Each structure stands twice: as structure tokens, then as C-alpha cells.
Amino acid sequence: MKNMDDEAARAEARSKAKAERERDAPLARADYEAAQTAALDNLARLRAERLARESEPARPKASKARKTGDG
């Protein structure tokens, strides 16, 4: 009898866990999709910044004044 009670308790626990996963699935999916969208938006923004930077004409770098040794 105790063995059957343990099996029934395990089955009920599995059933509750499955129901909880099914209940949480839409929220988890929405969170995942929001994170993906944010990452793709950031990637597009960074790409646009890089392309804009690369399309600008190259600016000469400021040269540093050299010290000359007199002796």
C-alpha cells in the first residue's frame, strides 16, 4: 500500500509540475522573444554606427610634437 501511495504522490507531483510548465510557457516565450528583439535591435544599431563611421573620410591623426635633443 505504501508503495502505491508513493507512486500516486510522484504522479501527482509530475502532473503539477507539467501543469506549471504549461502555464508558464507563454510568459517564458514572450520573455525570450523580447530578449531576442532587444539583441537584434542593438546589433542593428551597432552595425549602423560602424557603417557610418567607416563611410566618413579618414581624418589625419594629430601628430605629437617631438622633442629634439640639443646635446
The model's pLDDT over 24-65, given as tens digits with 9 standing for 90+, comes to 999 999 999 999 999 999 999 999 999 999 998 877 777 776
| pLDDT for res 2 | 75
What is the pTM for the complete model shown?
Answer: 0.55
User: Binning pLDDT at 50, 70 and 90, where does residue 3 land?
Assistant: confident
Q: Is the pLDDT of residue 68 over 70?
A: no
Domain range summary for the chain, segments of one domain joined by +: 25-52
Q: How far is CA 16 from CA 4, 11, 22, 45, in A?
A: 18, 9, 10, 43
Per the rule left: phi > 0, alpha: psi between -120 and 50, beta: everything else, 63 is: beta
- The DSSP letter of residue 56 is S
Q: CA 3, CA 47: separation in Å to the nearest integer?
A: 62
